[in-house]
């Protein structure tokens, strides 16, 4: 079955790096995603990684995928107060279109 788990809360100081972790159970996942949700706003895709990759970098964001351990992480370099939000990990399988299975979300709080 599909299950995505994340830690609930992370607090960092402005300028530090943040690392948000996620584990998933479905080994047939094709794509893994990180979404950001700010208060009162819709979900915004930050980045996604194909399951045959182990790393993807996009400006301040680095995604690491350990397929053997089914572990996904999102590193945000030089974290800013504007990065405070809820971050959701999600997985999908191409055979099911873009049906995403989301984790419960990690609340990132950035202290100035």
Partner 1 sequence: GAGVSQTPSNKVTEKGKYVELRCDPISGHTALYWYRQSLGQGPEFLIYFQGTGAADDSGLPNDRFFAVRPEGSVSTLKIQRTERGDSAVYLCASSSYGPGELFFGEGSRLTVL
User: Residues in the site for partner 1, rule: CB under 8 A?
Assistant: 4, 30-31, 40-45, 48, 88, 90, 92, 94, 96-105
Q: Which residue, 9 or 13, has its beta carbon nearer to partner 1?
A: 9
Task: Enter the DSSP assignment of 54.
Answer: S
Q: Minimum distance between the CB of residue 13 and partner 1, rounded to whole angstroms?
A: 25
Rounded CA-CA distance 112/93 in Å is 39
Tokens of 102: 């989301």
Q: Minimum distance between the CB of residue 101 and partner 1, rounded to whole angstroms?
A: 7
Q: Which residues pair with 33 in a beta bridge?
A: 48, 90
Q: Which residue, 34 or 76, has its beta carbon nearer to partner 1?
A: 34
Which strand (E) or helix (H) includes residue 43?
A: strand 43-50
Q: Minimum distance between the CB of residue 77 and partner 1, rounded to whole angstroms?
A: 22
């Amino acid at each position: 079955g599909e299950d995505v788990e994340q830690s609930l809360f992370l607090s960092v100081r402005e300028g530090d790096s943040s690392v948000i972790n996620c584990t998933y159970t479905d080994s047939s996942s094709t794509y893994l995603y990180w979404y950001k949700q700010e208060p009162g706003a819709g979900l915004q895709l930050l980045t996604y990684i194909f399951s045959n990759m182990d790393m993807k970098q996009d400006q301040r964001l680095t995604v690491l995928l350990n397929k053997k351990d089914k572990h996904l992480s999102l590193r945000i370099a030089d974290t800013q107060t504007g990065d405070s939000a809820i971050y959701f990990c999600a997985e999908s399988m191409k055979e099911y279109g873009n049906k995403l299975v989301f984790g419960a979300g990690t609340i990132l709080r950035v202290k100035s």
